[in-house]
Amino acid sequence: MKKVNLILLAILSSALTLVSCGNNSKKNPDTQKTTASANTLIGAGATFPYPLYSKMFHVYHQKKGIKVNYQSVGSGAGIQQIQNKVVDFGASDAPMSDEELKESPGYLVHIPTCLGAVVITYNLPEDPSLKFTPDVLADIFLGKITKWNDPRIAKVNPNVKLPSLPISVLHRSDGSGTTYIFSDYMSKISSDWKNKVGKGKSLQWPTGLGAKGNEGVSGFVKQTKGSIGYVELAYAYQNKMSKATLQNKSGNFITPTLSSISAAADIDHMPKDLRVSITNTSASKGYPISAFTYILVYEEQGYDNRKEKKAKATVDLIDWMITDGQQFTKALQYGKLPEKVVEKATKRLKTVTYNGQSLLK
């Protein structure tokens, strides 16, 4: 009887695995099929803007009758899928690297859709609000400052009674855009960090524990007195977590808010291809760990027997997202694109063509 049960269990589980594999392998032809139908667009990529995108796409469907199917599979997979041309647009938190662009079969245009930020969160007795300067922050995450009552932390926070607790650092264990933005910032403010750790979605961490996802990091921070970690801004607000105030490049101490991350994007030297890192921003009121999230489309849309109607629909959708669609950013705790950036992004979108003809008039 027992044996029968075990065997049944084995058969069931193997059947389940087979079924789930089957689903996976089916996915590609499916997406291709739907790409062919006229009123449906397919996108895939970053998980970070997913709540905003699904709101935008829902409203867009009601208004224009175009259905958008967005799969939040992660930035890496999103880039891969647009490179394989199985989706109409890809989405990525970090802009593609020069090598990645070179590997792509066509030139990919980057259009920023909204802003996100990484918040430093911590757990101390009596929940004081803390300030950090770049060098103190870097040395905490490098494991050089190990106690909360270190004179360097005390110097920046003269009115806070700091306990003599050891600092336990928490970081993401899974590869993530949040880690990328955080390490991009750290590499800019600390040469030590740049040489020893560098920037990436997964890192070789000099100190601390890893936890999976924003929820993993925040769970540990909430449980452990004396801990410090980093999470995405929207997540920190939704869960009412402590948020450190950081000193930006201009020397101002900035609290992470929706307006301070939008301010971070208000820079003058925006490059033409819009691939830019705005961490450690030069904007005087900008929060220093902010970043754009992007949509990726081919500059020349006339590929693989693509219909002009479809190409036009893709460009129209993106145009709507960076203009009318921006109204949904605030409620969902994403940073709104500043006017200047919308202007530049629209200009960039006009360079997207179908057989050489601009799609956006």
Question: Do the Cβ atoms of 173 and 213 come closer than 8 Å?
Answer: no
Question: Which CB atom, from 186 or from 263, has the smaller least distance to another protein?
Answer: 186
Q: Residues 218-257 vs another protein: string with x where CB under 8 A?
A: -xx--xx---------------------------------
Please state, in angstroms and rounded to a whole number, the distance separating the CA atoms of residues 154 and 172: 27
Tell me the DSSP string of 272-299: TT-----TT-S-TT--SSEEEEEEEEES
Question: Do the Cβ atoms of 72 and 47 come closer than 8 Å?
Answer: yes
Q: Which of 53, 182, 205, 328 binds another protein (CB under 8 A)?
A: 205
Structure tokens at 115: 């802003």
Asked if 87 is part of the footprint of another protein (rule: CB under 8 A), the reply reads no
Please state, in angstroms and rounded to a whole number, the distance separating the CA atoms of residues 203 and 199: 7
Asked if 62 is part of the footprint of another protein (rule: CB under 8 A), the reply reads no
Across 120-151, b (16+ Cβ under 10 Å) vs e yields bbbbbeeeeebbbbbbbbbbbbbeebeebebe
Question: Do the Cβ atoms of 114 and 332 come closer than 8 Å?
Answer: no
Question: Do the Cβ atoms of 196 and 206 come closer than 8 Å?
Answer: yes
Find, among 227, 194, 193, 183, the residue nearest to 209 by Cα: 227
Question: Do the Cβ atoms of 122 and 165 come closer than 8 Å?
Answer: no
Smallest separation (angstroms) from another protein to the CB of 174? 4
How does strand 168-172 pair with strand 353-354?
unpaired
Q: Which stretch binds another protein (CB under 8 A): 81-89, 195-203, 273-281, 311-319?
A: 195-203
Asked if 3 is part of the footprint of another protein (rule: CB under 8 A), the reply reads yes
Asked if 51 is part of the footprint of another protein (rule: CB under 8 A), the reply reads no
Q: Which of 44, 114, 197, 236 binds another protein (CB under 8 A)?
A: 197
Q: Which stretch binds another protein (CB under 8 A): 202-210, 229-237, 254-262, 288-296?
A: 202-210
Smallest separation (angstroms) from another protein to the CB of 153? 20
Find, among 329, 177, 323, the residue nearest to 259 by Cα: 329
Q: Which of 45, 49, 74, 335 binds another protein (CB under 8 A)?
A: 74
Smallest separation (angstroms) from another protein to the CB of 287? 24
Asked if 79 is part of the footprint of another protein (rule: CB under 8 A), the reply reads yes
Q: Which of 203, 296, 318, 352 binds another protein (CB under 8 A)?
A: 203
Asked if 200 is part of the footprint of another protein (rule: CB under 8 A), the reply reads yes
Smallest separation (angstroms) from another protein to the CB of 350? 30
Q: Which of 34, 54, 133, 202 binds another protein (CB under 8 A)?
A: 202
In the complex, the residues that contact another protein under the rule CB under 8 A are 2-3, 5-6, 73-77, 79, 100, 166, 168, 173-177, 197-205, 208-212, 216, 219-220, 223-224
